[in-house]
Structure 1
Amino acid sequence: MAGRDRVQEASRLVVKVGSSSLTTPQGMIDVDRVDALVDVLGARRRAGTQIVLVSSGAIAAGLGPLGLRARPKDLATQQAAASVGQGVLVARYTSSFARYGLRVGQVLLTADDMMRRSHHRNAQRTLARLLELGIVPVVNENDTVATDEIRFGDNDRLAALVAHLIHADAMVLLSDVDALYDGDPRREGATRITDVRGPEDLEGVELGTSGRVGTGGMITKVQAARIATGAGVPVVLTAAAHAAQALAGVDVGTFFHPGGRHPGTRLLWLAHAATGRGRLHLDAGAVDAVVGRRMSLLPAGVVKVEGEFAAGDPVDLCGPHGIPVARGLVNYDAAEIPDLLGRSTRELANTLGPEYERELIHRDDIVILEPDSNGARRNV
């Protein structure tokens, strides 16, 4: 099975919908839009497909009840709006899915839940059990408690990670834009990009910024598609109005073909959900060993340590110019590392004991961060 047929035949789907596809310009939930989406998802669910709905809209839904005219910029008010709006949003989904005899279950996640292995496993088990019980999980970022340091920043990336978490067969990103274009779709001559098979298909493409009430934009959607396809999950990006056609495998929107690599859950989590709790600065030889030859990081190649972290935490590995080139799970507390720097593991074992004859970070616990167009590296 190839191409859009994989969406049509998928037995487990992740569908993400953005705030602007669910709300009015005033920030209130648009009942007709929600019902139209649920009509599509409910019919597919009753046909036997398991569906996880990743839904934005909590903050936007809270604007009207709180008397706010625009999305607040400060975190505290965003959290207050999310607290009010999340209840409004889930109540609407509960009522709408009930028309099809389906129940929904709310699952709120933060990036911290993906970063901590125990939370990660718990989320995986909860979603799997909900699907087994015939429930439609409605997933959203837990905006009420998330801080700037532990936010996904948008639900596109969250949806991609959830797709990998539940071993989805396909993912559909629904927005207020009907496809990815090779230029601003409001300008004459812009052409829809029907298929993306690799980065070369996006060379020279201008990606727009965020929408009316959401935090994402075309950039975040393309990044999410890269995460999902890198894990072997095909992605369709289109407008919410085209949801039925997208799920039926019709040629709408933009189809992102899955890649050949299927990284383990831990490495995907490390690359895309984890945030470095500190930094290890590497000399040029260590960068070549870790990035070029995919070797473990040894104390001899580290020249400086920054931050406070514990053994098992993710840390960023920086090259001589201070740019992160990789991320890994460190084997030592930050306070232990300065005494190890520049020394071989054999010397450390002879001096400090056999427990120190180990790498700072094992190669199996390292992911390489991909360079962007400016040469800086990032986890997308």
Structure 2
Amino acid sequence: MSPEVRRVVIKVGSSSLNHPEGGLDDHAINEIVTVIAALKHKDVECVLVSSGAVAAGMGQLGLQVRPRDLAGKQAVAAVGQGVLIERYSRNLERHGLVGAQILLSRIDLAEAARYHNAQNTLEKLLRLHVIPIINENDTVAVEELCFGDNDSLSALVAGLVHADLLIILTDVDGLYTTNPKKDPLAQLIEEVTEVSAVESMASGAGTSMGTGGMVTKLRAAKIATRFGIGTLLLNFTRIRELLGLTESQAPIGTYFQPAKHRLAGRKRWIAYGGLSEGSIQVDDGAAKALVGEGKSLLAKGIITTEGTWERKEIVRITNLKGEEIARGVVELSSDEVQLVKGLHSEKMLQIIPDFDCEEVVHRDNMTLMLDG
């Protein structure tokens, strides 16, 4: 882990914030803020992605069981979000710090203009020495536009602010060879070079207060490492060990190394920010050209399509096995692609005369969905 850590994103989940008797655990919030304040003193900028709105709302309303329906979750989150930010703000003030609440929904990162606006706002807050406190906008997001878990959100935020490190606080010490709750011989994996090599080790269950398990944390690690951002899974009880980051004292957890071939700029947004509107299936020759030779997608290699889209929207590109191999901005609508699939470029240009290029998806507007 590099000692040159100057900007971190810290994600904390509901399991760490929930008090055993219900509501928020004030001691946990105090611990988070104390560590953030100490890191700030060491000139490390911090962005906090915090769950806990639903747990806080349940505490306020005296509920024992987390709502399962979207409307119930949104109602409880609406009650709890104000409580959550108030607790953080009160603790930050004790350290002479100011916090800012930012609620993001999936659409805020899906549209390029909103993506850049969110990016600019976060950068301005950091320049003002404010601590951004980010959560999903549970109270208004429709189910199709939800992140699903704050692990994925934290990885996207890490890319948004060009963080040096993503820290995911959890209720276990990290990734183990097997489930440590069932296998006493399970061993902690302290460093991972490639996320895909360990995905099979993840178990999916979270706590009654959370929405994620190890599966979502590995998904987040895969996103962040593809951005060139190292990712640390750390037990919340070891949060104070983060203070050794600037002295090259690595906390005990699982560290995922950043990918060698990292995604940057627009390619990040295409891969994980923008919403895909459909898919294009290609033959083996086209798949090889895209993945192995760095070529653009031509009409000749297209087998079929699924979904409906307009020009300049994002589509998934799959091989004959149905595996997603790339994602990109398509130059033709779904109806137009159906008309020209399998055709040579000359014939395609005759059928669509207002189209002035031969690429259906240009290489410059495409991201391979593979590990770096």
> What does 1:18-57 correspond to in 2, within 5 Å?
18-57=13-52
Q: CA deviation at 1:168?
A: 1.0
Determine the structure 2 residue equivalent to 1:361: 361
Asked whether the 8 Å contact 1:165–1:265 carries over to 2, the reply is no
Aligned counterpart for 2:228 among listed residues 232, 237, 243 = 232
> What does 1:227-266 correspond to in 2, within 5 Å?
227-248=223-244, 249-266=249-266
CA distance, structure 1, for counterparts of residue 200 and residue 316 of structure 2? 30
Asked whether the 8 Å contact 1:348–1:356 carries over to 2, the reply is no
Q: Counterpart amino acid of 2:201? A: V
CA separation of 1:105/1:251 partners in 2, compared to 1, >3 Å: closer, same or farther? closer
CA distance, structure 2, for counterparts of residue 13 and residue 205 of structure 1? 26
**SS of 1:149 mapped into structure 2:** helix
Determine the structure 1 residue equivalent to 2:213: 217
Structure 2: where are the runs of 5+ without partners?
Answer: none
Aligned counterpart for 1:189 among listed residues 178, 185, 191 = 185
Asked whether the 8 Å contact 1:152–1:273 carries over to 2, the reply is no
Q: Is 1:68 aligned to 2:63, yes or no?
A: yes
User: Higher mean Cα deviation, 85-94 or 43-52?
Assistant: 43-52
Determine the structure 1 residue equivalent to 2:158: 163
CA distance, structure 2, for counterparts of residue 292 and residue 27 of structure 1? 53
Asked whether the 8 Å contact 1:236–1:254 carries over to 2, the reply is yes
State TM-score, norm by structure 1. Answer: 0.89
CA distance, structure 2, for counterparts of residue 86 and residue 242 of structure 1? 26
Q: CA deviation at 1:206?
A: 4.5
Q: Counterpart amino acid of 2:90? A: S
Q: CA deviation at 1:56?
A: 0.9
User: Higher mean Cα deviation, 271-280 or 83-92?
Assistant: 271-280
Aligned counterpart for 1:127 among listed residues 122, 128, 134 = 122
Determine the structure 1 residue equivalent to 2:280: 280
CA distance, structure 1, for counterparts of residue 129 and residue 104 of structure 2? 21
User: Higher mean Cα deviation, 66-75 or 114-123?
Assistant: 66-75
Structure 1: where are the runs of 5+ without partners?
Answer: 372-379
Determine the structure 2 residue equivalent to 1:376: none
Q: CA deviation at 1:22?
A: 0.7
Asked whether the 8 Å contact 1:302–1:341 carries over to 2, the reply is yes
Determine the structure 2 residue equivalent to 1:102: 97
CA distance, structure 1, for counterparts of residue 223 and residue 351 of structure 2? 44
| Percentage identity across paired residues of the two chains | 39
Q: CA deviation at 1:25?
A: 3.6
> What does 1:295-374 correspond to in 2, within 5 Å?
295-353=295-353, 355-370=355-370
Alpha carbon RMSD of aligned pairs, Å? 2.2
Q: CA deviation at 1:262?
A: 2.2
CA distance, structure 1, for counterparts of residue 93 and residue 17 of structure 2? 18
Asked whether the 8 Å contact 1:184–1:208 carries over to 2, the reply is no
State TM-score, norm by structure 2. Answer: 0.91
Asked whether the 8 Å contact 2:38–2:243 carries over to 1, the reply is no
CA separation of 1:194/1:351 partners in 2, compared to 1, >3 Å: closer, same or farther? closer
CA distance, structure 2, for counterparts of residue 239 and residue 273 of structure 1? 28
CA distance, structure 1, for counterparts of residue 202 and residue 208 of structure 2? 19
CA separation of 1:38/1:184 partners in 2, compared to 1, >3 Å: closer, same or farther? same
CA distance, structure 1, for counterparts of residue 351 and residue 334 of structure 2? 19
CA distance, structure 1, for counterparts of residue 197 and residue 211 of structure 2? 25
Determine the structure 2 residue equivalent to 1:136: 131
Q: Counterpart amino acid of 1:88? A: V
CA separation of 1:27/1:285 partners in 2, compared to 1, >3 Å: closer, same or farther? farther
User: Higher mean Cα deviation, 174-183 or 345-354?
Assistant: 345-354
Q: CA deviation at 1:179?
A: 2.0
